């Protein structure tokens, strides 16, 4: 009986290399090109322009003088710090009002066998799909003291004395605009929380029930710790969104001057007036680039603190 022959390979023989997957580059090239042209290049150009000032024929290099003017010159510093403060207030209100509401609604929608869950999800997410211009115009009509429905509705409830022109008062305009923003965008964190809650294995919840937990105790003791990464993600998305995407709603409701008396002014509206000019204010490309670069650094610092100070401490659940 003959033994089967074995084929021995020499260690010196070269191994076959894996084929290069060029099609990956073909698929990534369009997105990379668009992102470079419309995102990376404008950021780099803004950083470059922020180091120059207007000269007789072309820009004159001045280093960080524009940044010193932005935070120290009385003509610029007052508007800059007011816009930055309003952005911080906007962010804190979204974190303390919008995200807890979204988390509560997501927990309720994730209850098994909840009737009409799909309808509720649609209703809560629908405002997110509306145009910001439409939302701003509608809420101006609703809250108008002249032809709005709010004064008549509050009179019908016997609360007419509590009505105020909230969009026209410096003390309440920013809060009112923020509440409108919360109403419109609460569906985004809601869906993120809802998806995270649905991703928790049913065996984990059954084990908690066997241990004697039920109702909201399962949510607080089991579900909430498991979705902490999603909480962190929603937090940083809220931070970025409030510093970058708050311009459109404020502009559609309060205009480019972010009235009354700049009480709703944020970094986006301040950047718009500085770069393009508005009414009696002339545009300044170099100071506009400085404001844009300052906004970029503010977002970069916040994202960096989250990535290195928060995300690294969160333990993701793998199942």
- pLDDT at position 85 is 96
What pLDDT digit, counting tens, does each position of 72-101 carry?
998 899 999 999 999 999 999 999 999 999
Domain count of the chain?
Answer: 1
In a domain, 16, yes or no: no
Q: What is the pLDDT of residue 289?
A: 94
20 within some domain:
no
Could you tell me if 145 and 165 are in contact, meaning their C-beta atoms sit under 8 angstroms apart? yes
Decide if 11 is inside a domain. no
Maximum distance among all alpha carbons in the chain?
A: 107
User: What is the rounded distance in angstroms from the CA atom of residue 260 to the CA atom of residue 283?
Assistant: 21
Beta bridge partners, 295, equal none
pLDDT, position 315: 53
pLDDT band at 317 (very low <50, low <70, confident <90, very high): very low
CATH of the domain at 162: 1.10.3720.10
Domain for residue 7, yes or no?
A: no
pLDDT tens digits along 205-232: 888 888 887 778 888 888 888 898 899 9
Q: Residues near 237 by Cβ (< 8 Å), separated by ≥ 6?
A: 188, 189
Residue 189 covered by a domain = yes
Q: Which domain holds residue 83?
A: 25-313
The pTM of the full predicted model, rounded to 2 decimals, is 0.85
Query: Would you say residue 140 lies in a domain?
Result: yes
């Amino acid at each position: 009986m003959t033994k089967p022959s074995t084929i021995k390979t020499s260690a010196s023989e070269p191994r076959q290399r894996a084929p290069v997957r060029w099609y990956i580059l073909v698929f990534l090239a369009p997105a990379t090109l668009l992102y470079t042209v419309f995102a990376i290049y404008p950021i780099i150009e803004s950083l470059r322009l922020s180091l120059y000032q207007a000269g007789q024929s072309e820009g004159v290099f001045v280093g960080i003088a524009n940044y010193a003017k932005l935070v120290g010159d009385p003509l610029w510093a007052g508007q800059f710090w007011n816009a930055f403060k309003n952005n911080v207030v906007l962010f804190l209100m979204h974190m303390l009002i919008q995200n807890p509401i979204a988390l509560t609604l997501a927990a309720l929608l994730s209850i098994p066998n909840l009737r009409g869950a799909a309808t509720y999800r649609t209703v809560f997410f629908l405002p997110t799909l509306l145009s910001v211009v439409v939302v701003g115009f509608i809420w101006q009509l609703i809250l108008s003291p002249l032809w709005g429905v709010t004064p008549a509705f509050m009179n019908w409830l016997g609360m007419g004395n509590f009505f105020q022109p909230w969009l026209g008062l410096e003390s309440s305009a920013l809060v009112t605009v923020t509440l409108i923003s919360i109403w419109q965008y609460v569906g985004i964190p809601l869906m993120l929380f809802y998806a995270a809650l649905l991703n928790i294995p049913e065996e984990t919840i059954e084990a908690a029930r066997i241990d004697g937990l039920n109702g909201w105790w399962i949510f607080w003791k089991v579900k909430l710790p498991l979705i902490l990464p999603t909480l962190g993600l929603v937090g940083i998305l809220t931070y970025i969104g409030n510093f970058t995407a708050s311009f459109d709603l404020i502009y559609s409701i309060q205009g480019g001057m972010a009235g009354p008396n700049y009480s709703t002014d944020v970094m986006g509206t301040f950047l718009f007036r500085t770069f393009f000019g508005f009414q009696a204010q002339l545009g300044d490309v170099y100071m506009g680039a400085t404001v844009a670069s300052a906004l970029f650094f503010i977002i970069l610092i916040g994202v960096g603190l989250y990535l290195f100070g928060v995300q690294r401490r969160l333990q993701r659940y793998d199942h």
